Amino acid sequence: MRLYQAYGPKQDFNRLIPIVIKACIKNKKFPCSHGNQLRDFLYIDDVVDAILKTLKSKKARGQIINIGTGEPKKIKKIIEYIKNNLKGGYPQFGKIKLRKDEILELYPNIKKAEKTINWRPKILFKKGLKSTIKFYNEQAI
């Protein structure tokens, strides 16, 4: 399985979504890139579902299967959505420079997952993100 940007409650604070949520909850400035990269984020419940289906599928043995939504999101839009939802935080767009080898568009084609393990993600991004924001907000970080 090739997983793309899993996210959700209890994720370590060294990943984009928890970093942004924490900064916005605390109403702090935080550095980020310009945010023009496209990434695919998959809610943890969908990741678990894909893993279970892969383990049960004989057709999946020996295969490389992309697990994601297949629908990329612009990093800047995600940051702005979290900021607006939490009504706080000050993203400093452009403070973090992209790596020389940074891939600007990184998202999977999930047709093989659909065909091989009969899997598609079920959790819409905004629903998963709201659940994740709620979790961290309730933790009083």
Q: Check which CATH number belongs to the domain holding 82 and give it.
A: 3.40.50.720
CA end-to-end distance (rounded Å), the chain: 33
Full pLDDT tens readout for the chain, 141 residues: 999 999 999 999 899 999 999 999 999 999 999 999 999 999 999 999 999 999 999 999 999 999 999 999 999 999 999 999 999 999 999 999 999 999 999 999 999 999 999 999 999 999 999 999 999 999 866
Domain assignment of residue 140, yes or no: no
Give the domain range for residue 75: 2-135
Structural domains in the chain (count): 1
Domain assignment of residue 48, yes or no: yes
Task: Please report the pLDDT score of residue 139 as a whole number.
Answer: 86
Domain assignment of residue 141, yes or no: no
Share of the chain residues as helix, strand and coil, in percent rounded to the nearest 5: 40, 15, 45
Neighbours of 12 (CB within 10 A): 7
